[in-house]
């Protein structure tokens, strides 16, 4: 029996989501695309077309983050029904988008809108120009499902290569976020004393002066000048269609300080009343549910702590100029708050120091995970039922497993989790407390989290994949670690590049991390999740976590890594036993004598052997995967590096994560 497969996709995904200045833009940009895809599929269901959705199997949109992919696959018995489904999907997207845009325009822009503003708004929000909707319908035989699916994928790829070109003129001042489209403005007139930029800036100062708009949502000084798309993303929660998103998405500083806040919640807030009082009012507007992990651990007495943004834990926030810009305080109020804030923060940190709570770190991470060769894996399925089973496994992973790991077991926040794609913001590490004694027992790092994610992904999907394809179920992850002051766009770009390197440079099934220090220096390292014929203790995450613990507890001095990196070009040419001997010598020399019992001599020797073992496994893997056998002895080289250099680079990252001072 002949049937018809419809494959429908909505884009552009990357620029729409990642053109972001605030975490709010990132979050809402992702959610808007998911909302439109939900509308596209809902129209088909409401039209009562005889469609069988193969992917995704779950089409309900989460009320906190995006959990729908930007593509669906549906099968129809009749060609006219498949064709009608396309039109219904387009209708759903247009109507939903237009309604959201109208709501935002009326709530935020209408009061200041001139005919010029209206022209820009209408042109930029036109869905036929903004969105890339690609679809194909392919006739096929369900008995030859694998061939049918491959043909449909190939047809959609070919259609995407024939992109529609919509020429658009975007004159004048560009948006400070997209940098591509002109910023919204009123009537511009030629004036000697006012430039075009100044007039655009004045438009945004007026718009942001609305007392119902927080300075944390948009700057009050006109430094943020948005185009229509950026405005919709920033203020999308003004639409009743997105009313469930009224809770805030945490800032990068709130993510960075989440582990500190978790420990702070264990202390009686009466002990730091000065800080609470200094950060009250405009500084206490964060909804307590911004980070679910913290909200669940807060009592009624200390929940007000969660109303403070992560900025409130850093002295540099309590500067009059920053308080005026970020919280719209008057000069007098900013000056008084700065004085009270610095004193209150000093008292707060004295209390946490007494309780052996590590001071807040100013660094956070963005992680991006993507399944490897998912298109190839799906095109190898034998039947529609198998395809649906895999789709169900992907839905279970993204809807249950991912939020549980990222938001319930760790103080992170998801931006999206759709199928095999995950994007999340996370702190670097957290203490796991013993409930009985309320003391730090072990440390759970970002790397433990991402390792668990890829393990759970593999296990969930492998259950539904034929035996001859189970080994193809793999995932790659890119991570960027950055200071919370680093522009979000730069961190997103580094995350995307890291994920691409994991696939292209390290041969997939890999993890790549880029550390972006505030000084401008960067360290980038990568590895496979696991290596063949390597002991469990020498596997990457296990070994690196062990070193992190030793640096964190001051058992090993960071000097051991710097010394070994200096010696590495020479060590590479030695036999493995000689390498292990020298690494052992350096580790023993940099071991803290007071903590010798935490790292006895035999364990030092074992660690040295594990470093050499892992480095050798990395070299073997690179030989197998790359025709070009050249490898660099420099850690900061763009080329592939020797395994020992790569391993020591990872230890350097562990030193960075364990550092106690701020910068």
Q: Is the pLDDT of residue 12 over 60?
A: yes
- Please provide the CATH number assigned to the domain covering 3-161: 3.30.70.2220
Element (H, E) at 146: helix 145-161
Environment class of 550 (CB within 10 Å of its CB; exposed 0-12, middle 13-18, buried 19+)? buried
What whole-number percentage of the chain has pLDDT above 90?
Answer: 80
Q: Is the pLDDT of residue 439 over 50?
A: no
Phi then psi dihedrals of residue 171, to 5 deg: -80, 170
Q: Is the pLDDT of residue 216 over 50?
A: yes
- Give pLDDT, residue 444: 86
- Give pLDDT, residue 471: 87
- Give pLDDT, residue 381: 87
Q: Is the pLDDT of residue 35 over 60?
A: yes
Is residue 581 helix, strand or coil? helix
- Give pLDDT, residue 167: 66
Instruction: Dump pLDDT digits (tens) for 239-277.
Output: 999 988 876 799 999 999 999 999 999 999 999 999 999
- Give pLDDT, residue 434: 47
Alpha-helical (H) ranges within 473-627 are: 488-504, 540-552, 559-571, 576-589, 601-625
| Domain 362-529 classification at class level | alpha beta
Give the predicted TM-score (pTM) of the model: 0.94
Q: Is the pLDDT of residue 655 over 50?
A: yes
Is residue 301 helix, strand or coil? coil
- Output b/e per residue, 258-284; b: 16+ Cβ within 10 A: bbbbbbbbebebeebebbbebbeebbe
Q: Is the pLDDT of residue 626 over 70?
A: no
Q: Measuring CA to CA, which residue among 493, 517, 512 is closest to residue 363?
A: 517
Contact 397, 387 (CB under 8 A): no
Tell me how long the chain is: 663
- Give pLDDT, residue 165: 63
- Give pLDDT, residue 437: 41
Task: Quickly state the pLDDT bin for 372 (edges 50, 70, 90).
Answer: very high
Task: Quickly state the pLDDT bin for 212 (edges 50, 70, 90).
Answer: confident
Contact 295, 306 (CB under 8 A): yes
Q: How many CA atoms lie within 13 A of 488 on its CB side?
A: 18
Mean pLDDT of 82-101: 97
All CATH 3.30.70.2220 domain ranges in the chain, comma separated: 3-161
Phi then psi dihedrals of residue 102, to 5 deg: -65, -45
Contacts of 456 (CB under 8 A, 6+ apart): 397, 401, 405
- Give pLDDT, residue 475: 96
Contacts of 37 (CB under 8 A, 6+ apart): 10, 68, 69, 70, 72, 93
Average model confidence (pLDDT) for the chain? Answer: 92
Please list the helix, strand and coil fractions of the chain in percent, rounded to the nearest 5, in that order.
55, 15, 30
- Give pLDDT, residue 440: 42
Instruction: Dump pLDDT digits (tens) for 56-67.
Output: 999 999 888 999
Q: How many CA atoms lie within 13 A of 458 on its CB side?
A: 17
- Give pLDDT, residue 576: 95
- Give pLDDT, residue 438: 43
Which has the minimum average pLDDT: 21-35, 386-400, 460-474?
460-474
Mean pLDDT of 285-309: 93
- Give pLDDT, residue 166: 65
Alpha carbon of residue 96 to chain centroid: 26
All CATH 3.30.70.270 domain ranges in the chain, comma separated: 362-529
Q: Measuring CA to CA, which residue among 107, 108, 659 is closest to residue 358?
A: 659
User: Per DSSP, what are the bridge partners of residue 413?
Assistant: 425
Q: Is the pLDDT of residue 591 over 70?
A: yes
Environment class of 39 (CB within 10 Å of its CB; exposed 0-12, middle 13-18, buried 19+)? buried
Please tell me the distance from the alpha carbon of residue 335 to that of residue 340, in angstroms, as a whole number: 9
Mean pLDDT of 192-199: 86
DSSP secondary-structure letter at 236?
Answer: G
Element (H, E) at 439: strand 439-445
Contact 167, 406 (CB under 8 A): no
Task: Quickly state the pLDDT bin for 214 (edges 50, 70, 90).
Answer: confident
Q: Is the pLDDT of residue 95 over 70?
A: yes
Contact 24, 249 (CB under 8 A): yes
DSSP secondary-structure letter at 397?
Answer: I
Mean pLDDT of 104-120: 95
Environment class of 300 (CB within 10 Å of its CB; exposed 0-12, middle 13-18, buried 19+)? exposed
Task: Quickly state the pLDDT bin for 362 (edges 50, 70, 90).
Answer: very high
Q: Is the pLDDT of residue 432 over 70?
A: no
């Amino acid at each position: 029996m002949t049937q018809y497969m419809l494959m429908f996709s909505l884009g552009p995904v990357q620029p729409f989501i990642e053109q972001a200045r605030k975490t709010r833009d990132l979050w809402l940009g992702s959610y808007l695309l998911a909302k439109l895809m939900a509308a596209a599929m809902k129209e088909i269901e409401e039209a009562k077309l005889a469609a069988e959705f193969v992917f995704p199997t779950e089409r309900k949109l989460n009320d906190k983050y995006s959990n729908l992919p930007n593509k669906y696959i549906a099968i129809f018995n009749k060609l006219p029904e498949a064709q009608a489904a396309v039109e219904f999907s387009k209708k759903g997207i247009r109507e939903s988008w237009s309604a959201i845009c109208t709501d935002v325009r009326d709530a935020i822009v209408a009061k200041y809108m001139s005919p010029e503003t209206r022209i820009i708004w209408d042109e930029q929000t036109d869905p036929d120009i903004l969105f890339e909707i690609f679809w194909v319908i392919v006739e096929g035989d369900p008995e030859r499902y694998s061939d049918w699916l491959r043909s449909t994928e190939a047809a959609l790829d070919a259609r995407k290569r024939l992109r529609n070109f919509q020429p658009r003129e975007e004159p004048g001042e560009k948006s400070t976020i997209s940098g591509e489209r002109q910023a919204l403005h009123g009537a511009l007139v030629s004036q000697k004393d006012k430039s075009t930029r100044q007039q655009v800036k004045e438009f945004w100062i007026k718009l942001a002066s609305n007392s119902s708009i927080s300075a944390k949502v948009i700057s009050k000084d006109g430094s943020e000048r948005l185009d229509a798309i950026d405005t919709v993303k920033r203020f999308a929660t003004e639409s009743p269609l997105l009313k469930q998103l009224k809770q805030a998405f945490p800032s990068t500083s709130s993510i960075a300080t989440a582990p500190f806040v978790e420990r702070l919640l264990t202390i009686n807030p009466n002990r730091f009343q000065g800080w609470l009082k200094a950060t009250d009012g405009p500084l206490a507007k964060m909804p307590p549910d911004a980070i679910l992990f913290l909200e669940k651990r807060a009592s009624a007495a200390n929940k007000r702590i969660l109303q403070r943004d992560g900025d409130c834990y850093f002295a540099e926030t309590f500067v009059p100029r920053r308080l005026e810009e970020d919280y719209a305080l008057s000069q007098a109020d900013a000056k008084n708050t700065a004085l009270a804030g610095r004193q209150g923060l000093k008292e707060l940190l004295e209390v946490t120091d007494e309780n052996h709570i590590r001071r807040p770190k100013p660094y956070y991470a963005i992680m991006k995970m993507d399944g490897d060769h998912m298109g190839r894996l799906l095109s190898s399925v034998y039947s529609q039922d198998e395809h649906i089973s895999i789709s169900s496994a992907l839905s279970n992973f993204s809807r249950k497993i991912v939020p549980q790991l990222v938001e319930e077991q760790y103080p992170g926040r998801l931006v999206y989790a759709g199928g095999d794609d995950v994007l999340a913001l996370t702190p670097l590490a957290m203490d796991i407390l013993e409930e009985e004694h309320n003391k730090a027992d072990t440390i759970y790092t970002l790397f433990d989290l991402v390792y668990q994610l890829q393990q759970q992904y593999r296990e969930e999907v492998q259950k539904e994949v034929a035996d001859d394809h189970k080994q193809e179920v793999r995932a790659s992850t890119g991570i960027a670690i950055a200071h919370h002051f680093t522009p979000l766009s730069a961190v997103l770009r580094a995350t995307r590049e890291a994920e691409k390197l994991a696939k292209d440079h390290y041969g997939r099934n890999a993890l790549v991390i880029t550390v972006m220090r505030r000084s401008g220096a960067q360290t980038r390292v990568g590895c496979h999740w696991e290596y063949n014929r390597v002991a469990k203790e020498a596997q990457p995450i296990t070994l690196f976590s062990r070193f992190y613990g030793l640096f964190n507890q001051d058992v090993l001095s960071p000097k051991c890594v710097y010394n070994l990196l200096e010696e590495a070009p020479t060590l590479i040419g030695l036999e493995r036993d000689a390498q292990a001997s020298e690494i052992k010598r350096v580790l023993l020399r940099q071991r803290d004598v007071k903590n010798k019992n935490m790292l006895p001599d035999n364990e030092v020797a074992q660690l040295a052997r594990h470093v050499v073992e892992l480095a050798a496994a990395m070299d073997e893997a690179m030989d197998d995967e790359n025709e070009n056998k050249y490898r660099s002895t420099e850690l900061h080289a763009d080329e592939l590096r020797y395994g020992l250099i790569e391993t020591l680079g990872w230890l350097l990252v562990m030193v960075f994560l364990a550092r106690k001072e701020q910068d």
